[in-house]
Structure 1
Amino acid sequence: MYHVLLALDETESRALAQANAVIDLPESDSSVKASLLHSFTDNPSGASALQVAGVRRAQETLEDAGVETAVVEASGNPADVILDVAVERNVDCVCVGGRRRSPAGKALFGSVAQSVILTADRPVLVAGDGKE
């Protein structure tokens, strides 16, 4: 079983693009398992990951395609959490959502996806932002 960790934020279009990237893997309906991770940076109300639209959308899409899913929630710096969960769950691949950013925006604000790509010790699948 090939285990993929999807690092999801609130954006439904990006979550859908990530789910579709996993569905496009060979034999995804029988040989792929997906852990859907949402990292809360601030969660004073105690929300669960399934209350996040992007997580729900990805789970529905994957399950409709026959992919086994599990939801994981954590809190902390998103890039660090993604890398830690990837190790803890011994996933084969991490799937992150990309988005278009200006060079200045990348320099000023950083990028979770970029940080994961550069520091992960396993393959990273980058899905588009889901926008045409």
Structure 2
Amino acid sequence: MCDEPTIESVSVRYDMSETILLPLRNYRPWAEAVAGAAAAVESSDVTALLLHVFDEEERASTRANIDDDGSMTVDDLAARKSGIVAAREILQDAGVSVEVRGREQVETTADSILTVSDEADVDRLYLYGRKRSPTGKAVFGSTLQRVLLNATVPVTVVPSNVTG
């Protein structure tokens, strides 16, 4: 006679951990707002991937400011940015695991964000939505707009009136 499993005898274990992506600029108030929003709604089971995209000029100036001889990785440089430091503190205080990723910009910032999102197989994105005029968006483009239109995962936009 074979015993049929019952609800009481079956243990289900999920090994799926979720990853969220927070692309951050080096502006502490924006980073705090995005991290605060993510910390408020995410469980401590997620891993937050904090991303800073460097253009060539910013990467060089960051290396110069911290007196790096070129031995630091782009991830190490990203970990030194004030926006990343602020977001890391908020998320870790909320019990969220944090990883920092730096990326050298080869394409647009939006494309860099989308590429990292795909490479890291993230489940959700959190972005800061600063206020811009329609003309400004048309002339300069919009990273937020491009990510929203092309992301393959849900995107949460933290509005500019939210503070960390």
Structure 1 length-normalised TM: 0.91
Residue in 1 aligned with 2:78?
49
Listed as ranges, the gaps of 5+ residues in structure 1 are none
Alignment partner of 1:82 is 2:87: no
Structure 2 length-normalised TM: 0.74
Residue in 1 aligned with 2:22?
6
Residue in 1 aligned with 2:38?
22
Is contact 1:7–1:38 with CA below 8 Å preserved after alignment?
A: yes
Q: Offset of 1:128 from its aligned partner?
A: 2.1
Map residues 1-132 of structure 1 onto 2, 5 A cutoff.
1-26=17-42, 28-29=43-44, 31-42=45-56, 43-45=59-61, 47=63, 48-76=77-105, 77-129=108-160, 130=162
Is contact 1:39–1:74 with CA below 8 Å preserved after alignment?
A: yes
1:68-119 per-residue CA deviation (whole Å, 9 max, x = no partner) reads: 0000000112111110111111000111111001111111111111110111
Cα distance in 2 for partners of 1:44, 1:16 equals 25
Cα distance in 2 for partners of 1:33, 1:25 equals 13
Compare CA radii of gyration and give the structure with the larger one. 2
RMSD: 1.6
Cα distance in 1 for partners of 2:154, 2:123 equals 7
Of Structure 1 and Structure 2, which has the larger fraction of its residues in strand?
1
Listed as ranges, the gaps of 5+ residues in structure 2 are 1-16, 64-76
Identity of aligned residues (%): 40
Cα distance in 1 for partners of 2:156, 2:31 equals 13
1:21-62 per-residue CA deviation (whole Å, 9 max, x = no partner) reads: 111224x22x22100000001222454012211111000110
